[in-house]
Amino acid sequence: MKLPVKDIQGRAAGELEVKFEVIPNGRGTQAVHDAVVAYQAAQRQGNACTKTMGEVAGPGKKPWRQKGTGRARAGSYASPLWPGGGVTFGPKPRDYDKKVNKKVRQLALRKALGERLKAGDVVVVNDLKLTSAKTKEFVAVVRSLGCDGTALFVIGGVDADVERASRNVVGIGLTTGSRLNTYDVLKYDKLVFTKGAFEQVEARLVKPARAGKTNP
């Protein structure tokens, strides 16, 4: 598969050969699901906390005597039945992280990116160098590349000018080729890669060749 390469004005600037194998339909869907669920679970803070009956502040004294008052029996002011009392089976701080092994993450990213390539949602630019950190200049680049909806710009490394210029543009995300994940690939309408960033992602997805066995 070959991808057309553009410059930041939207003009043709060559082609790029896709080096990783695009996964056929029917394979890799579960890996994508697992990777997305794990990513979203990792975003949860997990700091919700309620007090149990033993943690509620207050006197440990019995509210009233057991018999003879005509009222229901009560043993503690911290009872879950009372306002201000403890919470039964309430949430406690916990870790929501889910383990997904490296091969599954790689398969998920390759599947998701391959589907976006087949759908024509990937744009490759030869470079993304701005003359200044002006939002106006970045918006002009977005329009020239035909990104009408949301778009994720994937660059080769940290660029302060691009980061500052894209910060306030609604619907635009920014990441690097080394940090791209399956959730990001699926979230945006368009994916805009610099040539160097696309090669970074390919390096993560291409399986290294096995060394051949030599006879003694």
What's the N-to-C CA distance of the chain in angstroms? Answer: 40
pLDDT tens, residue by residue, 7-66: 988 888 889 999 888 888 888 999 999 999 999 999 999 999 999 999 999 888 999 999
Distance between CA atoms of residues 31 and 161, nearest Å: 36
In a domain, 33, yes or no: no
- If asked whether residues 190 and 88 sit together in one domain, one would say no
- If asked whether residues 116 and 88 sit together in one domain, one would say no
Distance between CA atoms of residues 111 and 205, nearest Å: 10
Structural domain including 62 reads: 45-95
Residue 32 Cα distances to 87, 95, 102, 185, angstroms: 38, 22, 13, 11
pLDDT tens, residue by residue, 109-129: 999 999 999 999 999 999 998
Distance of CA 142 to the CA centre of its chain: 22
Q: How many domains does the chain have?
A: 2
In a domain, 37, yes or no: no
Residue whose token pair is 């080394």 = 178
Distance between CA atoms of residues 189 and 175, nearest Å: 15
**Per-residue model confidence (pLDDT) at position 207:** 66
- If asked whether residues 8 and 109 sit together in one domain, one would say yes
Backbone dihedral angles phi then psi of residue 192, each to the nearest 5 degrees: -115, 110
What is the pTM assigned to this prediction?
0.82
In a domain, 56, yes or no: yes
Question: What is the gyration radius of the CA atoms in the chain, in angstroms?
Answer: 27
- If asked whether residues 147 and 194 sit together in one domain, one would say yes
Compute the Cα dihedral for 164, 186, 123, 127 and give only its sign.
positive
Residue 164, SS3?
helix
Q: Say which CATH number the domain at 177 has.
A: 3.40.1370.10
Q: Is residue 208's pLDDT more than 70? A: no
Give the end of a domain, one of 57, 76, 95: 95
- If asked whether residues 165 and 79 sit together in one domain, one would say no
**Per-residue model confidence (pLDDT) at position 93:** 96
pLDDT tens, residue by residue, 130-148: 988 999 999 999 999 989 8
Give the end of a domain, one of 71, 95, 119: 95
pLDDT tens, residue by residue, 151-207: 999 999 888 999 999 999 999 999 999 999 999 999 999 999 999 999 999 999 986
What's the token pair of residue 36?
A: 């997305």
* Average pLDDT over every residue of 77-90: 95
Task: Specify which residues 16 forms β-bridges with.
Answer: 3
In a domain, 180, yes or no: yes
**Per-residue model confidence (pLDDT) at position 216:** 46
- If asked whether residues 124 and 17 sit together in one domain, one would say yes
- Confidence grade of residue 84 (pLDDT, cut at 50, 70, 90): very high
Give the end of a domain, one of 60, 78, 95: 95
**Per-residue model confidence (pLDDT) at position 211:** 52
- If asked whether residues 106 and 183 sit together in one domain, one would say yes
- If asked whether residues 110 and 91 sit together in one domain, one would say no
- If asked whether residues 59 and 12 sit together in one domain, one would say no
**Per-residue model confidence (pLDDT) at position 60:** 87
